[in-house]
A and B are shown apart, each in its own frame.
Chain A
Amino acid sequence: MIAHAEIAQLFTGLVLALLAATLVASVLRRCGARSPAGGENIIIETVFARISAWWAMVVLLSLAAAFGRIGVVVLFALISFSALREFLTLTAKRRADHWVLMFSFFVALPLQYLLVATGSITLMTIFIPVYAFLFLPVLAAVRGDTAGYLTRIAETQWGLMLCIFTASHAPALLWLDIPGFEGKQILIIAWLVIVVQGGDMAHFITPRLMGRTRIAPDVPHSRTWEGFLGALGAGVVLGTALAWITPFAPWQAAIMALAVSLLGYAGGMVMAAIKRDKGVADWGHLIPGQGGFIDRLDSVFFSAPLLFHLVQFFWVPG
């Protein structure tokens, strides 16, 4: 991948921003440690853990980008693998589902990313929703165990759609031919991650600064109007401010950021509902203090296909 000025500037900017964030959080932690109130410290620790996760994201995405498009595809394939492992650990399954699980991990996942890596965009968008959809239930039926059959199949397919299909749309952005933007598509991925992660962070902080009005009585107490508006606001501000790294004009970037933030928020809400249904607090434990990959990336998963389609529809000619 040819190094572009925008990529270098964005990288420098991110590193500086994270350095500043780490510094501020360290100072706050030191002050907070002296105050007797324990409640404040949990917030600072959470913020700290998120900043660490961002460092990891910047480092990983930069490393992957250094290896070009294939590096980014491999990175997202590994993310899909970890997310799928978290998801399928919690879904309904029986001994007879072993082939289904093997197909999910060892066939569906590599094949989907192979389709991305070869630029087979049309096949990529139908492989899991159509062919994996039709093939998985056959594989389960062949093994003969019909107890909870539909639940087992449906939950596994949900996992494939969420953890492989949606996630693979992020690296697929690299294969879109945007006139005047050749070789810089990775900046759109960076833009997406920054917008939805910024929204996630605002969603965590705003209710703690401005109070809590629950969106609905049955949703978890973290789902508040303040958090919702904070997430959208932060997403739009970040997305518009970073319009210079994208092929979008500022007003276009604002609309795109709004759309992406809305879906990202919805994603977090959907995944929280599933966690509640399954009776767990987090999807996993791989990122210290952050739960699992799905906890951190649900908003990216939900918004990646939309961003992909919007860019393909409005910015790719023909």
Chain B
Amino acid sequence: MLRNLFTAIAGHGLVLVVRMITAPRAIWAGIEPIPRKRVYFANHTSNADFPLVWSVLPAFLRSHTRPVAASDYWLKNRLRAFFGRDVLKAVLINRDREGRDANEDPVARMVAALDEGSSLIIFPEGRRNLTDEPLLEFKTGLYHLAKARPDIDLVPTWIDNLNSVLPKGEIVPVPLICTVTFGAPIHIAPGEDRDIFLARAHAALAALSKGAEG
């Protein structure tokens, strides 16, 4: 009870800090913010990506939306564990393929979270993009997730400008305006080839980067 109150306060605090620094704006281009189970797949340039997407979602969506994140990062210390596991209620994934056992299968965990009624935020690039490329190749997780639950809306989500707010290696964020653009959802076609589907998802997300300002 007390713990719930504490995480709720921390959650509101996090949203407030993100809002003060980045004055973020959600652009709903092709989909409306309605309470429906979804998978938001986004580009990944910064560790603040999760809090940012989470903050721009309306509160009634936010409480049912869980990020999918690497356990080695989010369980590293108690503060991260508190924000990652308790406040953001992240679905934690073990990235170590050899070291994880059978009940740690990432796709199974994501499907289980969806079946519990949660929406998910995932980064299909699988790691932070620190290159000059706008968007890296996708890992196969998005494909397996889409195949397991083909009815779910897969929403391309483009995060703009966050890497200017806090470039890699800097400690102090500068206040610049960020936008999060939610595009028209895609679905996997019956029997669609893995590479074709991933290319299609990649193109849908990359297309949002061009029209992100507007």
Assembled-state Cα–Cα distance A85/B175 (Å) = 6
Stretch at the interface among B86-94, B95-103, B166-174: B166-174
In this complex, what residue of B is CB-closest to A93? Answer: B164
Known interface pairs A85-B176, A85-B177, A284-B177. Does A279 touch B164 (Cβ–Cβ under 8 Å)? no
Asked if A286 CB lies within 8 Å of chain B CBs, one says yes
**Nearest CB on B from A106, distance (A):** 8
B23 near A284: Cβ-Cβ < 8 Å: yes
**Nearest CB on B from A209, distance (A):** 30
Asked if B213 CB lies within 8 Å of chain A CBs, one says yes
Assembled-state Cα–Cα distance A89/B23 (Å) = 11
Number of interface residues of A (CB under 8 A): 19
A102 near B174: Cβ-Cβ < 8 Å: yes
Asked if B63 CB lies within 8 Å of chain A CBs, one says no
Task: Name the one of B176, B213, B214 contacting A88, with C-beta atoms under 8 angstroms.
Answer: B176
Known interface pairs A285-B25, A286-B23. Does A101 touch B214 (Cβ–Cβ under 8 Å)? no
**Nearest CB on B from A142, distance (A):** 15
Asked if A281 CB lies within 8 Å of chain B CBs, one says yes
A89 near B170: Cβ-Cβ < 8 Å: no
Assembled-state Cα–Cα distance A105/B176 (Å) = 10
Asked if A86 CB lies within 8 Å of chain B CBs, one says yes
Which among B25, B167, B174 has the highest number of chain A CB atoms within 10 Å? B174
Q: Is the interface of A mostly helix, strand, loop or mixed?
A: helix
Known interface pairs A89-B161, A284-B23. Does A98 touch B167 (Cβ–Cβ under 8 Å)? yes
Assembled-state Cα–Cα distance A225/B23 (Å) = 36
Task: Name the one of A86, A93, A101, A279 contacting B177, with C-beta atoms under 8 angstroms.
Answer: A86
Asked if A17 CB lies within 8 Å of chain B CBs, one says no
A105 near B174: Cβ-Cβ < 8 Å: yes
B93-119 with Cβ < 8 A to chain A:
none
A280 near B23: Cβ-Cβ < 8 Å: no
B213 near A279: Cβ-Cβ < 8 Å: yes
Q: Which residues of A contact B172 (CB under 8 A)?
A: 102, 106
Interface 1/0 per residue, B22-58 and A, CB below 8 Å = 0101000000000000000000000000000000000
Number of interface residues of B (CB under 8 A): 14
Interface 1/0 per residue, B166-192 and A, CB below 8 Å = 011010101111000000000000000
Task: Name the one of A85, A101, A102, A106 contacting B23, with C-beta atoms under 8 angstroms.
Answer: A85
Known interface pairs A85-B23, A93-B164, A285-B25. Does A280 touch B174 (Cβ–Cβ under 8 Å)? no
A52-104 with Cβ < 8 A to chain B:
81-82, 85-86, 88-89, 93, 95, 98, 101-102
**Nearest CB on B from A107, distance (A):** 12
Task: Name the one of B161, B167, B168, B175 contacting A105, with C-beta atoms under 8 angstroms.
Answer: B175
**Nearest CB on A from B17, distance (A):** 15
B176 near A89: Cβ-Cβ < 8 Å: yes
Q: Which residues of B contact A82 (CB under 8 A)?
A: 23
In this complex, what residue of B is CB-closest to A99? Answer: B170
A283-302 with Cβ < 8 A to chain B:
284-286
Which among A89, A105, A106 has the highest number of chain B CB atoms within 10 Å? A89
Q: Which residues of A contact B177 (CB under 8 A)?
A: 85-86, 89, 284
B214 near A280: Cβ-Cβ < 8 Å: yes
In this complex, what residue of B is CB-closest to A97? Answer: B164
**Nearest CB on A from B74, distance (A):** 25
Assembled-state Cα–Cα distance A98/B164 (Å) = 8
Q: Which residues of A contact B168 (CB under 8 A)?
A: 95
Known interface pairs A95-B167, A279-B213. Does A101 touch B174 (Cβ–Cβ under 8 Å)? yes
Interface 1/0 per residue, A207-249 and B, CB below 8 Å = 0000000000000000000000000000000000000000000
Query: Can you list 13 A-B contacts (CB < 8 A)?
Result: A82-B23, A85-B23, A85-B175, A88-B174, A89-B164, A95-B167, A98-B170, A101-B176, A102-B174, A105-B175, A106-B172, A279-B213, A280-B214
A residues sitting closer than 8 Å to B (CB atoms) are: 81-82, 85-86, 88-89, 93, 95, 98, 101-102, 105-106, 279-281, 284-286
B residues sitting closer than 8 Å to A (CB atoms) are: 23, 25, 161, 164, 167-168, 170, 172, 174-177, 213-214
Q: Knowing that A88-B176, A93-B164 touch, tell me 20 more A-B residue pairs with CB under 8 angstroms.
A: A81-B175, A85-B23, A85-B175, A85-B176, A85-B177, A86-B177, A89-B177, A98-B167, A98-B170, A98-B174, A101-B174, A101-B176, A102-B172, A102-B174, A105-B175, A280-B213, A281-B214, A284-B23, A285-B25, A286-B23
